[in-house]
Chain A
Amino acid sequence: MNLLSGGEFFLLLHLGLGIGFIHGFAGGIATLVDRTTTRLAETRLKARVRAASTLLMAAALWGAVISGTWLVYPGYRAEPPEGAATAAYPKADLLANEDLAFWHDFGMEWKEHVAWLTPFLATAVAFVAIRYGRRVSSDKLIRSSLIRLFTVAALASVVAAGLGAAINKVAPNLFLDL
């Protein structure tokens, strides 16, 4: 018995990576911002949480852009056969309706592109947190730079995820009928 089609599974995988993103961002930003700890053991723990969290967020974002681009996006942009109904072809269906074309021309175009910026930023933060953890712990300015990169990556991810959710609501998506 097939509970999910291939496309549905890929979309579920893509959405599931959001869980890793949220946990990674929460742990990463909290340990980058917080400087109240002075006890050595707590600092060690915090540095480990910071390294693990930033790595998790970077991995989740790479997974999201790779699965989104090569597994989910082809289903979205597939062309319907000549004369076929567009109900199972989100991009074609959006573009066929003047009132909905905005969701592709602006929404999907922004989502698919801005999302690709995020793994570069998150990977830099993760690398620095892991490889230069001692310097990160002691250098406020470097920590401040990492916080800003991490936040830009998170905001861009939220834009991409929010637009994806909205487009899934507007465009025909059989997955949501399950």
Chain B
Amino acid sequence: MSLIDERSSGAPERRPGAPPSRHGRPAAELADTGGSRSATEPNGGIAAALLAAGIGCAAFGVLVVLAEASGAVKDALTVSEGAGPLSGKGLGATVLWAVAWAVLHATLRNRELPWRPVARTTTALIAVGLVATFPPVFQLFAH
């Protein structure tokens, strides 16, 4: 089962009984609130945020496996002696997440994307993070 609904998200849902506006969207939608932006704002910025979250999860999972597989990587990730390699895993994944988000947001924010590839990619990235942080899995790579 996918974590993300994969159906196309091309158009906002239309409420039952809501008349279409002259812009082809339900009038109720245009009256809807919750954000300060235009109702027609593309979904690229949303896709960027979700994909970046997936990248952060996957990056953390990869760092966990690498630290388990290599003593050199584990040492390199020991940013704080007290917290050990967990400090570097967290910092590294956070930096990768932030950079990925900034790049994706700048690239996608003005685009309307089909939701299926976004959903599938995000789901796969989150799954990598969840699987790679499960001890019986990453401990398979213990050096």
Contacts and interface: CB of A to CB of B under 8 A. Distances in A.
- Chain A contact surface mostly: helix
Interface stretch (A14-22, A81-89, A132-140): A132-140
On chain B, which size bracket covers the interface?
A: 35 or more
Contacts, number: 172
A43 B33 CA distance: 6
Contact of B35 (A46, A65, A136, A140): A136
B131 to A, nearest CB: 11
Given A120-B97, A149-B50, A133 B35 contact: yes
A95 to B, nearest CB: 14
Contacts of B80: 70, 74
Contacts of B64: 113
B86 interface: yes
Interface in B95-143: 97, 115, 119, 122, 126, 129-130, 133-136, 138-139
Contact of B33 (A40, A74, A139): A40
B13 to A, nearest CB: 4
29 contacts: A47-B34, A51-B34, A65-B90, A73-B84, A74-B80, A109-B135, A113-B138, A117-B56, A117-B129, A128-B50, A131-B35, A132-B37, A132-B41, A133-B34, A133-B35, A134-B32, A134-B34, A135-B37, A135-B43, A136-B35, A137-B35, A141-B7, A141-B13, A144-B5, A145-B4, A145-B5, A145-B119, A148-B4, A149-B50
Interface of B: 3-5, 7-9, 11-13, 15, 26, 28-29, 31-39, 41, 43, 45-46, 49-50, 52-53, 56-57, 60-61, 64, 80, 82-84, 86-87, 89-90, 93, 97, 115, 119, 122, 126, 129-130, 133-136, 138-139
